[in-house]
Structure 1
Amino acid sequence: MPDYPQTLVPENHIEPVPRRIRATLGGKVVLDTTGAIYVWEWSPYPQYYIPLVDIDSSVLVDEAHESKLRRGTARRYGLEVDGIVRPGVVHVYTEDSLEGLAHMVRINWSAVDSWFEEDEEVFVHPRSPYARVDALRSTRTVRVELDGVVLAESSSPIMVFETGLPTRYYFNRTEVNFEHLEPTDTVTSCPYKGMTSEYWSIVVGDKTHTDLAWCYDFPTRQLLPIAGLVAFYNEKVDVFIDGVEQARPVTHFFKPEK
């Protein structure tokens, strides 16, 4: 379940990436560049395009195939590292492509094991330079309920404000009623917060509400205030702030109920 903000940037907008970008496959660095560009293939977030000269040529497998894609003609390659083969995951753009894309390379995000901005790993997709995530302390009282059962209450929550998403409320574990939380094996990743360490379903009476609470034990540096805290999808629970019930937001995480 990818987690992403809905920041709208025009499709095909291009701008330089001011950071060193690397990717690894099978323990080998397959690209290392300070010349990457962002390309917004759709509005919420960009993709990296990498100069061909900054990709290790020894890992590229020419598949001798060219395609007319939305942004121009691209020659298709695979990746191969020590017996690990990823066919058809690399496209090298040619001269008839959008301005700025000639000799730039798009690699499928999941084709490699890991991506790095400078020395920090990036998950799911590149971070948009126009998205922001802030974790702020608050003394407002926040209470979470479901079907009349109090799941968490705090007068010192951490509030996470993420561009394009509803505010999330993070609670100390001592403020959470774990009697109604059941651990699951779910793991999700976010380019701005990192990888979750725990997920819980909520059990109220004889009904189980799947994967409505989560925790980041080791969030990204910018979100360290939420380390070890528990949050809930406010799309599916009732949130009260200083006693006032909040409207449930509508997001891409859940399909509308019929």
Structure 2
Amino acid sequence: MKQRKTKICNFFLLLLLFGPFALAQTIINTENMMLDDQGKLSYAMSFQGDLNFGNIDLIQFSTAQQLSKSVDKHLFRLLLNYDYIKESGTEISSDYTGQIRYNYRINKNSFFAFLQTQNIKSLRMNHRYTSGGGYRQRMIQKEDNFWDLSAGLFFEDELYDSNLSTQNQVYNWRYSLSIFLKHKFSEKLFINLSLYYQINASNTKDYRLFLEPRIYYTLNKINIFLDWTYRFHSTPYIDIFRTDNSLNVGIEFNLQS
């Protein structure tokens, strides 16, 4: 049994060292690093990185951090993400995301509201400001496994190519529908799945889709994860691809006080 656990740990460590890493995402998955705080002040951080020198000159890393505090039925969260890619002396990505999120919980259900700021250099997006809210309903609960549905409305302000003649400013109201699922395969191995569908309130042909299944293996206060991210925008506002895929391997640290 001990030898089997050692093999599993070695497998995930190899994935961590040699796996590919993600580009920044327009839709931010706030389901990752959800903490079972039980009224405590909680902090979680994930990190991914890659360094190559010689024939390939590449610096690449990504970090996500979350600070949360629960007070009675109120949950307050601060999320900060940063992605950096530099290849052969050229900076390809230096992207940040910040979000403040509030939930008012009613048993396993909740009302939520959020404010978010973001830039994505790889998508030529100078800024994206969003604010909105909605409601989340627990549909199925069996021990630690669950399935939730969420619906909401938010406003977005996006600016592309600010230093070019092709500058494009976009304002939209969007409806948001989401599905969240967690399933435990064993005490240490489980999967989170998140699906976001965001549709323009005034143009139904303009919608965004985000899918991310993430597999976790837990080691005390450390989680090793592997996920696949799929992002699709039906009508990009500038000349970029409609679809992005990424495979991510990383490690999370969880602290509570």
TM-score, scaled to structure 2: 0.22
Larger Rg: 1
Given the two structures, how large is their TM-score scaled by the length of structure 1? 0.22
Higher strand share: 2
